[in-house]
A and B are shown apart, each in its own frame.
Chain A
């Protein structure tokens, strides 16, 4: 059964299109990388799919049910959303922060049970943050913070994970282990849509890559079909070498900004 299907999504803000006729489906077991230049509409798409922004038109269904008809608590259990700028407002402990992931599983008066706490501990372990559990969440480094926020998401045990640039603040080792966590996450029939700027991570770990440009989806499929030098030139305005490496697989090496794109950048 398709986990999520979005059809003909349109969204504009101040007369600027953010999404134009976007169609997207996510199947169980799929890790999908959402890529595209800045301002292409990736975050807007994620927010619509998470039910945080109402599209101007189009339909979104999660497990066959229209998204708007799903009660907020149930939506919270089905979908996990990781915002681009992860906010943490009070210096609560890391453990307490991660246990907030259980919010949609508990009612207003319920305290987390032993089972909930075991799930929280597992999420801390998975993200290599168990040693941080008593630290103040506001005093973590950028990378620790990203991992802790991901742990919060995993503790919610959603069916579908929507993450906006989760690897942005991470060092290479933690980038690789985070992508591996996402691979493991989808193995049990769940799925994840992840906004990525690192094309190599997208090609190495994602089952499918969806490329957006100027509010539209311009390509979707396996990495080797989507990440071609021609398309990268067209969408990103870069010249790149696409190399097959025996261990790393398909690797993309951008080496030059195409002159026309460069001159348009200089106009700023």
Chain B
């Protein structure tokens, strides 16, 4: 079979255009209906009104956080799948997601976040860095892929046990429900403050990943060949560990765990970039942002008695979608 010869620029542009249009739609969605023109007019006039406040503080913040979180999950999923040469690797494989969740849950458990709201995301990012460092130390500098995956599984399992313990021993039913809902992923509580807090970590993570494309491409031919082609493998690995800890850690710390985006998006876009791991990085960032934005618009549009959490929707849609992809690729292989 021949490979679809890709024009990555047109893919990036169409994803970017879709993002722009959907972001504008997302800004006009919310529980209170008001004329967008009036909000914009208020924005550009001297005095700040309630409409512009809703638009900027709530909707713009929510939209931007959705874009950043989605992009981080997408690009980190693509990078890890490239590093481990495994299409089933998810962005949380190296511990960042569960480490962030555990530390955030500990903050929720002790109720520290009600007095110090910035502590929750910061604890999450710290947890992500700690858990990823632990996986790195357990796996060792020159370890095989299997050792890295096993170290990740072990650290993730430990964090999951800690989270279960926190839910089990939670001081009040309110705390239990708060922890459980937080774990499901939620964009409704985001503000401009949370955006500013996560932005530098996300940007640093993306910047580190941006230079990894060449190494990931070389890894398509195996570790020995990549090294013989001049790729410094230990350095590439370290860079990817730090980048995912920062970007995924900041994402999970801000909005909770959101599954399937980092797994499905790279998988879906890979054929469209000719299976090229380097070209997949920007495509997955854009695709991840698009998918989370869509999911967040979905939870706002779907009317349920209790608000639907965005992580639940991504899992509900993502899992069957992933299943179809697997069945389709199995058919192609036959």
Contacts and interface: CB of A to CB of B under 8 A. Distances in A.
A152 B3 CA distance: 18
B274 A96 contact: yes
Contacts of B276: 90, 92, 96
A76 B228 contact: yes
B173 to A, nearest CB: 49
Interface stretch (B156-164, B229-237, B298-306): B229-237
Contacts of B217: 100, 103
B219 A76 contact: no
Interface in A107-142: 107-109, 134-136, 139
A77 B3 contact: no
Nearest to B84: A89
B65 to A, nearest CB: 29
Interface string B136-156: 000000000000000000000
A11 to B, nearest CB: 16
Contact of B1 (A51, A74, A103, A136): A136
B214 A72 contact: no
A103 B224 CA distance: 14
Contact of B225 (A83, A92, A109): A83
Contact of A87 (B2, B214, B225, B231): B225
Contact of A104 (B1, B224, B230, B270): B230
Looking at A73, A96, A97, A107, the one whose CB has the most chain B CB atoms below 10 A away is A96
A106 B221 contact: no
A166 interface: no
Given A52-B227, A106-B214, A134-B2, A88 B220 contact: yes
B219 A89 contact: yes
Contacts of B275: 90-92
B111 interface: no
B171 interface: no
* Range for the number of chain B residues in contact with chain A: 20 to 34
A86 interface: yes
Contacts of B230: 72-77, 103-104
B222 A100 contact: no
A136 B224 contact: no
Nearest to A47: B224
B228 A51 contact: yes
Contact of B274 (A87, A93, A104): A93
B277 interface: yes
Interface in A134-171: 134-136, 139, 149, 152, 156
B307 interface: no
B232 A92 contact: no
Nearest to A102: B229
B117 interface: no
Nearest to B211: A108
Contacts of B228: 50-52, 76, 79-81, 83
Given A92-B220, A103-B218, A108-B213, A76 B229 contact: yes
Interface in A21-60: 47, 50-52
* Range for the number of chain A residues in contact with chain B: 35 or more
Interface string B168-190: 00000000000000000000000
Given A72-B232, A75-B230, A103 B3 contact: no
A126 B117 CA distance: 65
A80 to B, nearest CB: 7
A106 B213 CA distance: 12
A139 B85 CA distance: 17
Given A97-B220, A108-B211, A108-B213, A103 B229 contact: yes
Nearest to A78: B230
B277 A90 contact: yes
Given A52-B227, A72-B231, A79-B228, A89 B222 contact: yes
A72 to B, nearest CB: 5
Interface in B258-311: 270, 274-277
Given A72-B232, A156-B229, A91 B221 contact: no
B10 interface: no
B5 interface: yes
B2 A136 contact: yes
Looking at A73, A90, A107, the one whose CB has the most chain B CB atoms below 10 A away is A90
Contacts of B229: 76, 100-101, 103-104, 156
Contacts of A80: 228
Contacts of B221: 86-89, 97, 100, 149, 152
Contacts of A96: 3, 274, 276
Contacts of A100: 217-218, 220-221, 229
A106 B214 CA distance: 9
> Would you list the 10 A-B pairs with minimal beta carbon distance, nearest first?
A76-B230, A87-B222, A81-B228, A104-B230, A93-B3, A90-B275, A89-B85, A73-B230, A134-B2, A72-B230
14 contacts: A50-B228, A51-B228, A86-B225, A90-B220, A90-B276, A90-B277, A92-B274, A96-B274, A97-B220, A100-B217, A103-B230, A104-B230, A108-B213, A136-B1
Interface of A: 47, 50-52, 72-77, 79-81, 83, 85-93, 96-97, 100-101, 103-104, 106-109, 134-136, 139, 149, 152, 156
Given A100-B217, A106-B214, 19 more contacts: A47-B224, A52-B224, A52-B227, A80-B228, A81-B224, A83-B224, A89-B220, A90-B277, A91-B3, A91-B275, A92-B276, A93-B3, A100-B221, A101-B229, A108-B213, A134-B2, A134-B3, A134-B5, A136-B3
